[in-house]
């Protein structure tokens, strides 16, 4: 089980957004994608999640070529772009509604994860959240979904060091459950000391 990219290329308006990327992501490891803004990191993550069909190449998630089947991989939870939630509800209320869809997450689990990201006692509604608080809630949603593959795009943006350290420690423990974790960032400090394997992207290409 894992993720396999075979010669993935994405062309938009005659521009190569991703070019001939072949990668393998295996269970029990944390992977880092490093590169400047505009290097293709976010596009690659969206391709893995099923949101951006490649112009050429294959994206195989847990043995299934997702674009041939025309389905989103259910084994993935992801924090992509700027997270958005119901504006007049607080962190707990938003996660409660999301978790009620499959009814597989207990109230205690929600509170445990909110405590991890230092949002448990915060009663502010989402529309009054700071950037860091929005990021925390996005991370919390990925964690409570408890999927085999967890993907984070610039997750620590605006989050204080104490909370960042707690999240990093938690993610390392998650790999013991044979999970695949992928973190993209343009900040080396977000990647160093956390990721087992790091890939660098530059203008849509893997840097050799």
Give pLDDT tens digits for 110-160.
Answer: 999 999 999 998 899 999 999 999 999 999 999 999 899 999 999 999 999
Domain assignment of residue 161, yes or no = no
Domain assignment of residue 46, yes or no = yes
Domain assignment of residue 42, yes or no = yes
Domain assignment of residue 34, yes or no = yes
Domain region containing 57: 1-72+185-208
* Tens-place pLDDT, residues 149-202: 999 999 999 999 999 999 999 999 999 999 999 999 999 999 989 999 999 999
Domain assignment of residue 12, yes or no = yes
Domain assignment of residue 49, yes or no = yes
CATH number of domain containing 61:
3.40.50.300
What count of Cα atoms within 13 Å lies in the side-chain half-sphere of residue 72?
A: 8
Which pLDDT score, from 0 to 100, does residue 43 have? 96
Domain assignment of residue 93, yes or no = no
**CA dist., res. 126 & res. 20, Å (int):** 40
Our CA dihedral for 112, 113, 115, 121, rounded to 10 degrees, sits at -100
- Number of separate domains in the chain: 1
Which pLDDT score, from 0 to 100, does residue 101 have? 78
* Tens-place pLDDT, residues 50-60: 999 999 999 99
Check pLDDT > 70 for residue 62.
yes
The alpha carbon of residue 37 and the mean position of all alpha carbons in its chain are separated, in whole angstroms, by 16
Give me the phi and psi of 162, to 5 degrees please.
-60, -50
Computed over every residue of the chain, the mean pLDDT equals: 94
Q: What is the pTM of this model?
A: 0.94
User: Residue 208: pLDDT band by 50, 70, 90 thresholds?
Assistant: low
Domain assignment of residue 79, yes or no = no
Which pLDDT score, from 0 to 100, does residue 153 have? 96
User: Residue 72: pLDDT band by 50, 70, 90 thresholds?
Assistant: confident
Q: Looking up tokens 């890939």, which residue turns up?
A: 199
User: Residue 71: pLDDT band by 50, 70, 90 thresholds?
Assistant: confident
């Amino acid at each position: 089980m894992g993720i396999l990219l075979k010669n993935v290329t994405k062309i938009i308006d005659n521009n190569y957004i991703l070019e001939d990327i072949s990668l393998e992501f295996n269970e029990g490891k944390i992977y880092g994608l490093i590169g400047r803004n505009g290097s293709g990191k976010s596009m690659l993550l969206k391709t893995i999640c099923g949101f951006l069909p490649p112009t050429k190449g294959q994206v195989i998630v847990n043995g299934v070529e997702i674009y041939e089947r025309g389905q989103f991989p259910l084994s993935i939870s992801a924090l992509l772009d700027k997270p958005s939630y119901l504006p007049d509800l607080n962190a707990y209320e938003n996660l409660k509604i999301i978790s009620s869809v499959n009814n597989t997450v207990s109230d205690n689990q929600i509170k445990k994860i909110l405590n991890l990201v230092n949002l448990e006692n915060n009663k502010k509604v989402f529309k009054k959240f700071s950037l860091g608080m929005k990021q925390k809630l996005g991370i919390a949603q990925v964690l409570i979904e408890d999927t085999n593959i967890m993907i984070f795009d610039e997750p620590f943006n605006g989050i204080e060091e104490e909370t960042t350290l707690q999240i990093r420690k938690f993610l390392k423990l998650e790999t013991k459950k044979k999970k695949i974790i992928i973190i993209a960032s343009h900040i080396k400090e977000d990647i160093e000391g956390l990721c087992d394997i790091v890939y660098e992207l530059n203008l849509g290409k893997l840097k050799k």
